[in-house]
Amino acid sequence: MADESETTSRLIAQLRGGEDDALAELFTNYRDRLKRIVRFRLDYRLAGRISESDVIQESYLSARQRADYYRGKPEMPFFVWLRLIVNQKLVDLHRQHLQAEMRDARKEISIDQPAVSPHTSLAMAAHLVGQATSPSRAFSRVERIATLEEALNQMEPIDREVIALRHFEELTNTEVATVLDIDVQAASKRYVRAIKRMKEIVSAIPGFDEV
């Protein structure tokens, strides 16, 4: 449901006016979009240990606790705020379950300023390997993901993020621009260039030409 719709606009106005009950309906309206984000961002090594529904439920509880923060940020689109909540919850869960990989303090996601995630390469690699139609028998899935992740790290972080947001999370170009704090036109042009660059990188890896 788009933010400009009458119902959504009314509910957001109610939430900003102090009616916390409006959050539940808003959250439900965006649940499918938020699940898509979780499905993409949740580390593949945690499959079976953490469910999408659990992440979504914990994110909702966190959103209720932070409703006053949202009210204090009138310029922040509601969905962008929800996305930040979900991503912070994922960071917390990754740190809890994958402590050795999550010790770097730079891997925090700021609720005040959108950040480019340092784990986007891994998420993209896991999903691209999962979409491959004829994986090479010479590589296990884990090895293929590691190989592709390393290759994707050749890209500029913001280029990887633009692809992740547009292609995997299916955000609109306007939402991408808001998340990354760049011009809408610049976001569109960067996406086109980034897709081209990604295809060049992936196609150069033996066994990945069909990813």
> Given this model, what pLDDT does residue 9 score?
93
Name residues whose C-beta falls within 8 Å of residue 112's C-beta, 6 or more positions apart in sequence. none
- Determine the residue type at 166: R
Would you say the pTM of this structure is higher than 0.85? no
How far does the chain reach from its first CA to its final CA, in angstroms?
A: 31
Q: What distance in Å separates the CA atoms of residue 124 and residue 128, rounded to the nearest whole number?
A: 6
Q: What distance in Å separates the CA atoms of residue 74 and residue 192, rounded to the nearest whole number?
A: 31
Q: Which CATH number fits domain 120-203: 3.40.50.720, 1.10.10.10, 3.40.1280.10, 3.50.50.60?
A: 1.10.10.10
List the chain domain ranges: 6-107, 120-203
Name residues whose C-beta falls within 8 Å of residue 28's C-beta, 6 or more positions apart in sequence. none
DSSP per-residue letters across 10-31:
HHHHHHHTT-THHHHHHHHHTH
> Given this model, what pLDDT does residue 150 score?
94
Instruction: Going from the first residue of the chain to its last (211 residues), give the mean pLDDT of each consecutive group of 10, the final group possibly shorter.
Output: 72 94 95 96 88 95 95 93 95 83 42 61 91 54 91 94 96 95 96 95 79 49
Q: Thinking of the domain 6-107, which architecture would CATH place it in? A: Orthogonal Bundle (1.10)
What are the Cα distances from residue 163, in Å, to 49, 72, 79, 120, 195?
A: 27, 30, 18, 10, 7
